[in-house]
Amino acid sequence: MRYQICVSGAASGETVTASHQLAYDLGKAIAERNKTLLTGATVGLPHYAAMGYASVQDTHHGVSVGFSPASSFREHVAAYKLPTKEFDYINFTGMEYVGRDVHLVRSSDAVITVGGRMGSLHELATALESRKVCAVLLGSGGLADYVPTLIEKIEAPGAKDIIFDTDPGRIVDKVIKALDEKYADFEHDNTDSHLANRYSQNG
C-alpha cells in the first residue's frame, strides 16, 4: 500500500544542525520504499526529509506532499518564507501552524519524530490521540530523546506501541511492518478482482 508517512521535526535550533543527515536519510528511505512523504512544508528537519525524498524520487514511485500553514502560494512564500521546490503538491491549509499540525497528522498513516521542539510534541500528541502508528528516531536530539521519559511519566494512548530505533532505514521498515499489520484486513475497493466479484454478485 502507498502509506502516507509523516516526518515531524524541528524547523530550527540545535537538532537541525546535529540531525539534518538523519532527517535526509529518513526521507530517502521512505522514497526508496515507494511510500508517500508528508511534511509540514517547512524549513529545518522536515525540509531535509523532503530533500532526501527528492534525491531518489526519479527512480521510485512516491509523492512528496507538504501541508502549509498558509492559505495560498503567495502567503506561503512571501509571509511564511517556506520552501516549495521539493514538493510534488502543497496543501495550503490556511490554518496557521497549530491547525496545520492537526491536519497534517490526521492525514497521515504514521508519524516519525526526528529531533523536534514544542511543535513536534504537539504533532506527536495528536498522533497518539488519533491512534496513528508513531515512531521516534532516538539519537536525533530534542523531543525525540525525551519521549521515553515522557511516556514513562505521562500516560498516553498507544504509548506502549511507539516504535523506537536509531537507524532511519530500519525505523521506516518497522513503521511499514506495523502499518501492514494494522491494515491486514483492508482491501482496495478499486482492484480488478474486487470489481469482478462485485459485478458477478450483481449478475
pLDDT at 64: 97
Delimit the domains of the chain by residue range.
4-201
Q: How far apart are CA 150 and CA 144, in angstroms?
A: 10
Query: Contact 104/6 with Cβ under 8 angstroms?
Result: yes
pLDDT at 133: 98
Q: How far apart are CA 119 and CA 97, in angstroms?
A: 8
Give the tens place of pLDDT for each residue, 158-167: 999 999 999 9
Mean pLDDT by groups of 10 residues along the chain of 203 residues:
95 96 98 97 98 91 95 98 97 97 98 97 97 98 97 93 98 98 78 44 45
Helix axes 14-32, 168-182, angle to 10 degrees: 50
Instruction: State residue 192 phi and psi, 5-degree precision.
Output: -60, -40
Of the candidate CATH numbers 3.40.50.300, 2.40.50.1070, 1.10.287.110, 3.40.50.450, the domain formed by 4-201 belongs to: 3.40.50.450
**What predicted TM-score, i.e. pTM, was given to this entire model?**
0.91
pLDDT at 187: 67
Alpha-carbon torsion (173, 176, 182, 186), positive or negative: negative
